[in-house]
Amino acid sequence: MEEYFPRNTFQDTVALLNSELGPQESQALAYIILDKIFRLSKTDIIVNRQFFPDSLQKKKYNLLVRRLINNEPIQYIFKEAEFYGHRFYVDKNVLIPRQETELLIQIIANYRRWNTPTMADIGTGSGCISCALALAIEHSQLIGYDISQEALKIAQYNAARLGANATFAKLDILKQELPDTKFDLIVSNPPYVMNKEKAEMNKNVLEFEPALALFVPDENPLLFYKTIVEKSRQALKEDGVLFFEINEQFGAETLSLFEESGFTQPKLYKDLNDKQRFASAVLQ
């Protein structure tokens, strides 16, 4: 049986991925590949003790590297993404949860002392925000809405396997009203990428992630925000809170939307990269 060494395999993997993905992402993926395929940890790579992969492992390795070179996201390949310390099932029907969105869960959980709150998540996708909030805030009840039936099935599956107190329902927020439930909080990470921004985006997003959950018309970039702000006025309790993840280009415009619709305490929050990423306001 042919012997291999972890350090060499790691370096070879980085070299294969580097031309398409760049050095930083290639290294991060190489660690994942060696762990998933060969069960090699970072310590194994440092120690560099020989190992003996079988033919099936070699085949899986070669296939995985080819798919990654073709820009397929590793989360879709393994049907799994980590978010706020939890593992979520994901596939091409939902966006891959972003690390920067994790801060939104923390901000909401610490925003006030919640008392058995009822919360809504508009455009829930994989259910990552709904489930993470339900698990982070004791005695909370979450309902996630989405236009995609396929996404709702995934969200429900994630809630069940994580034990999150979250349910899900189909809703086209642009055409339908929110139910007559008075929510303590409404949160949304709606489509906010303008079509003209496609040229700046990576192939792994453009070619694999659902466009329906990403893009808005160039001439109406705040389409979802305007709609949700207006419909939240009827769906929130007095003193209820509305939270958004936003396009960093439109922070001031988002705050203006709040103020024009009678919300108070408008506020922007920066992410870990110092970009304006979230916004909130209170209904009085």
Q: Taking residues 175-186, what's their average pLDDT?
A: 93
User: In this structure, what CATH number is given to the domain that contains residue 96?
Assistant: 3.40.50.150
Beta-carbon count within 10 A of 118 CB: 15
Of 70, 92, 124, the residue at which a domain comes to its end is 70
pLDDT of residue 165: 97
Q: How far apart are CA 2 and CA 141, in angstroms?
A: 55
Structural domain of 200: 78-283
pLDDT confidence tier of residue 267, bands split at 50, 70 and 90: very high
Of 46, 70, 94, the residue at which a domain comes to its end is 70
Q: What digits encode the pLDDT tens for the residues 57-68? A: 999 999 999 999
What angle, rounded to 10 degrees, do the helices at 6-21 and 23-38 form?
A: 140
Q: How far apart are CA 128 and CA 100, in angstroms?
A: 13
Residue 185 · residue 109 · CB < 8 Å: no
List, in order, residues 6 or more apart from 22 with CB less than 8 Å away: none
Closest CA to 243 of 87, 98, 106, 127: 106
112 with 244, same domain: the answer is yes
125 with 49, same domain: the answer is no
31 with 154, same domain: the answer is no
Please give the structure tokens belonging to residue 198: 């496609």
Q: What digits encode the pLDDT tens for the residues 236-248? A: 999 999 999 999 9
Q: How far apart are CA 130 and CA 141, in angstroms?
A: 9
pLDDT of 1 higher than 70: no
176 with 278, same domain: the answer is yes
Q: Taking residues 202-229, what's their average pLDDT?
A: 86
pTM, rounded to two decimals: 0.90
Q: How far apart are CA 92 and CA 146, in angstroms?
A: 15
Of 29, 53, 70, the residue at which a domain comes to its end is 70
82 with 196, same domain: the answer is yes
Please give the tally of structural domains in the chain: 2
In a domain, 200, yes or no: yes
pLDDT of 201 higher than 80: no
Question: 3-state SS of the chain: helix, strand, coil percent to 5?
Answer: 45, 20, 30
Q: What digits encode the pLDDT tens for the residues 79-130? A: 999 999 999 999 999 999 999 999 999 999 999 999 999 999 999 999 999 9
Burial class (CB in 10 A: 0-12, 13-18, 19+), 205: middle
Calculate the average pLDDT of the chain.
94
pLDDT of residue 203: 81
Please give the structure tokens belonging to residue 149: 């039936």
Beta-carbon count within 10 A of 209 CB: 21
Q: How far apart are CA 275 and CA 279, in angstroms?
A: 12
pLDDT of residue 262: 93
227 with 183, same domain: the answer is yes
Q: What digits encode the pLDDT tens for the residues 136-167? A: 999 999 999 999 999 999 999 999 999 999 99
Q: Which residue has the higher pLDDT, 141 or 19?
A: 141
In a domain, 1, yes or no: no
109 with 146, same domain: the answer is yes
In a domain, 138, yes or no: yes
Closest CA to 245 of 143, 145, 124: 124
pLDDT of 271 higher than 90: yes
In a domain, 198, yes or no: yes
Q: What does the longest C-alpha to C-alpha distance in the chain come to? A: 72
pLDDT of 210 higher than 70: yes
In a domain, 172, yes or no: yes
Q: Taking residues 212-236, what's their average pLDDT?
A: 90
